[in-house]
Homo-oligomer: A and B are copies of this chain.
Amino acid sequence: MLLYIYLIAITAEAMSGALAAGRRNMDIFGVCVIAFITALGGGTIRDILLGHFPVSWTQHPEYIYLTVSAGLLTVLLARFMHHLHRLFLLLDAMGLVAFTIIGCNVALELEYHTAIVVMAGMITGICGGVLRDILCQRVPVVFRHELYASVSMLVALLYLLLDHFGISQDINLAASFAAGIALRVCAIYWHLSLPTFSYSPQQWK
Contacts and interface: CB of A to CB of B under 8 A. Distances in A.
Interface of A: 18-19, 21-31, 33-34, 44, 48-51, 53-55, 58-59, 61, 64-65, 75, 78, 81-82, 85, 112-116, 119, 130, 134-140, 142-145, 149-150, 193-204
Nearest to A204: B82
A142 B28 CA distance: 11
Lowest 9 A-B CB distances belong to which pairs? A22-B199, A30-B143, A51-B53, A61-B115, A27-B194, A82-B203, A22-B197, A26-B143, A28-B194
A112 B57 CA distance: 11
Nearest to A202: B82
Contact of A119 (B64, B139, B203): B64
